[in-house]
Structure 1
Amino acid sequence: MRVAVLGASRNTGKAFVEQALEKDVQITVLARTPEKLPFTAEQLSKIRVIKGDALVKEDVARAIEGADIALCSLGAKIEGMRLAGDLGVEETGIRHLVETMKETNMPTAPRLIMVSSTGVTTNHDVPFVLRPIYSLLLAKPHQHKKVAEAAIKDSGLPYTIVRPALLTSGELTKTYRADVGVCGYRVSRNDVAHFILEQCVLENKFINASPSIAY
Structure 2
Amino acid sequence: MTTSTSTSALFIAFFGATGGCTNACLVHTLNAGFHATALARTPSKLTDMLLAQGLSQSLIDTQLTIVKGDIADIQAIKNVLTNNSATTETPKLASQIISGIGGTPQMRMSLSKPMTIDNPEICATATKNIVQSLQEIYASHPSTAQNRPSITVISTTGVSDVREDVPFGFRTFYHVVLADPHKDKKVMENLVIENASLTGVFRGAVVIRPSLLKGDQNVKSGKGWQKVKVGVEDKPAVGYTIHRADVGQWICEQIVKTGGESHFGQKVTLTC
Superposed pair shares fold, TM > 0.5: yes
Verify the 8 A CA contact 1:125 1:182 in the aligned structure 2.
Answer: yes
Verify the 8 A CA contact 2:116 2:180 in the aligned structure 1.
Answer: no
Q: What percentage of residue pairs aligned between the two structures are identical? A: 25
Aligned to 2:175: 135
Q: 2: CA distance between counterparts of 1:79 and 1:114?
A: 22
Within a 5 Å distance, the mapping from 1:43-192 to structure 2 comes to 43-45=59-61, 46-65=63-82, 66-78=93-105, 85-105=118-138, 106-122=145-161, 124-155=164-195, 156=197, 157=202, 158-169=204-215, 171-174=221-224, 175-180=227-232, 181-192=236-247
SS of the residue aligned with 1:211? strand
> Which letter maps to 2:212?
L
Give the Å deviation of 1:110.
Answer: 0.6
Runs of 4+ in 1 over 6 A off after TM superposition: none
Aligned to 2:268: 211
Give the Å deviation of 1:202.
Answer: 1.1
In structure 2, the CA distance between the partners of 1:43 and 1:87, relative to structure 1 (3 Å rule), is farther
Give the Å deviation of 1:208.
Answer: 1.5
SS of the residue aligned with 2:263? coil
Which structure has the larger Rg? 2
In structure 2, the CA distance between the partners of 1:98 and 1:68, relative to structure 1 (3 Å rule), is same
Give the Å deviation of 1:103.
Answer: 3.5
Task: Please say which of residues 56-65 and 179-188 is displaced more in the overlay.
Answer: 56-65
Aligned to 1:15: 24
CA RMSD of aligned residues (A): 1.9
Task: Please say which of residues 85-94 and 153-162 is displaced more in the overlay.
Answer: 85-94
Give the Å deviation of 1:98.
Answer: 1.8
Give the Å deviation of 1:63.
Answer: 0.8
TM-score, scaled relative to structure 2 = 0.74
> Which letter maps to 1:163?
R
Task: Please say which of residues 54-63 and 194-203 is displaced more in the overlay.
Answer: 54-63
> Which letter maps to 2:176?
L
Within a 5 Å distance, the mapping from 1:193-204 to structure 2 comes to 193-203=248-258, 204=260
In structure 2, the CA distance between the partners of 1:35 and 1:5, relative to structure 1 (3 Å rule), is same
Verify the 8 A CA contact 2:117 2:181 in the aligned structure 1.
Answer: no
Give the Å deviation of 1:7.
Answer: 0.3
Higher strand share: 1
Return the match for 2:50 from 21, 32, 39.
Answer: 39
Q: 2: CA distance between counterparts of 1:118 and 1:16?
A: 19
- Give the number of aligned pairs: 215
Q: Unpaired runs of 5+ in structure 2?
A: 1-9, 52-56, 83-92, 108-113, 139-144
Q: 2: CA distance between counterparts of 1:21 and 1:83?
A: 34
Q: 2: CA distance between counterparts of 1:212 and 1:6?
A: 21
